[in-house]
Amino acid sequence: MYCQYLDWDSDFFGLRIASILPNRLKPDELEVILAWCAAEEIDCLYFLSDSNDRNTVRLVEENAFRLMDIRLTLERRFRKNPLGPTPPDAQIRLAQVSDIPDLQAIARVSHHDSRFFYDPHFPDKRCTQFYETWIAKSCEGYADAVLVADVNGQAAGYISCHLGKDGTGKIGLLAVKQEAQGNGFGKRLVDNSLRWFCDHQVYTVSVVTQGRNAVAQLLYQQCGFLTSNVQLWYHRWFLD
């Protein structure tokens, strides 16, 4: 099986959306995939391609796949608490359900570098709601923890943390309220997420960001992350 139907994405956007499972393709495989999409009446097909396989890149670009994003994976490995013996940051705390409206307000004006906002088939308003829903669900259990930057009792930023079954961790969403930017909250959120992972015996943490998001890349590099993988996000639409 080369494809997977995406229930959540399909329900959210009101379209039939699927994703290609392998990261490299041959012509005969793509032929099977396109036939499956026709039979299943797929509207949009996601494909995450290895960036260093030129044959795959040429194949999909010759078959109406459009490049939407360069996906960078960065990784940080450590053996002990990366913050050392310093006391916990008093302004960084675990999110509460009561924080969700404030976090959604931050999400509403963040994450505009994502591939969804760069695909004209997805309305900006719906993309905004996508991230509002994502951070709310993260606080309700989708993430293992959401840390917030607290300014006078109000959330001014967030970072979501996920524990993997293989003993690794992943950072999901990260954003800081516009009025609070420039005060180091981004780095403090990342640093304290590493403290949280360390407290849960996780010493390898990864994060994904966009190739166009140089600010996020610099932040993670300042926190000791190194690029471990570069991939390409393509979308193939069948509505045109």
Chain segment 168-210, per-residue pLDDT in tens: 999 999 999 998 888 899 999 999 999 999 999 999 999 999 9
Write the burial class of residue 147 (CB in 10 Å: 0-12 exposed, 13-18 middle, 19+ buried).
buried
Q: How far apart are CA 155 and CA 110, in angstroms?
A: 15
The predicted structure's pLDDT at residue 144:
98
Q: Would the pTM of this model clear 0.95, i.e. be above it?
A: no
Length of the chain: 240
Phi then psi dihedrals of residue 182, to 5 deg? 90, 0
- Residue 131, exposed/middle/buried by CB under 10 A (0-12, 13-18, 19+)? buried
Nearest C-alpha neighbor of 46 from the set 80, 12, 17: 17
**Using CA atoms, how far apart are residues 185 and 154, in angstroms rounded to an integer?**
14
Least confident piece of the model among 8-12, 89-93, 134-138: 89-93
Closest by CA to 17, choosing from 119, 137, 142, 136, is 119
User: Looking at residue 46, what is its pLDDT?
Assistant: 98
Q: Give me the pLDDT at residue 171, please.
A: 98
Query: Rounded CA gap, 44 and 121, in Å?
Result: 9
- In the chain the beta strands, taken as DSSP E runs, fall at 3-5, 17-20, 44-50, 66-77, 92-94, 145-151, 154-163, 169-176, 204-210, 226-237
> Could you say which of 3.40.50.1820, 3.40.630.30, 3.20.20.70, 3.40.50.300 is the CATH number of the domain covering 76-230?
3.40.630.30
Buried b (16+ CB within 10 A) or exposed e, 38-65: eeeebbbbbbbbbbeeeebbebbeeeeb
For 40-85, the pLDDT digits (tens) are 999 999 999 999 999 999 999 999 999 999 999 999 998 877 777 7
Work out the percent of the chain whose per-residue pLDDT is above 90. Answer: 88
CB distance 232 to 48 below 8 Å: yes
Look at residue 183 in the predicted model and tell me its pLDDT: 87
Query: How far is Cα 27 from Cα 84, in angstroms, rounded to an integer?
Result: 52
Its sign, for the CA torsion 14, 142, 82, 202, is negative
Lowest mean pLDDT among 85-89, 119-123, 145-149: 85-89
Q: What mean pLDDT value characterizes the chain?
A: 95
pLDDT of residue 87: 73
Q: How confident is the model at residue 240 (pLDDT cuts 50, 70, 90)?
A: low
CA distance 14 to 216: 31
Give the Cβ contact number of residue 213 at 10 Å.
Answer: 18
Rounded CA gap, 111 and 213, in Å? 10
Residue 90 has pLDDT above 80, yes or no: no
What per-residue confidence (pLDDT) applies to 104?
A: 98
pLDDT at 79: 82
CA atoms within 13 A on the CB side of 234: 24
pLDDT in tens, 74-86: 999 988 777 777 7
In this prediction, residue 40 carries a pLDDT of: 97
Domain with CATH 3.40.630.30 in the chain: 76-230
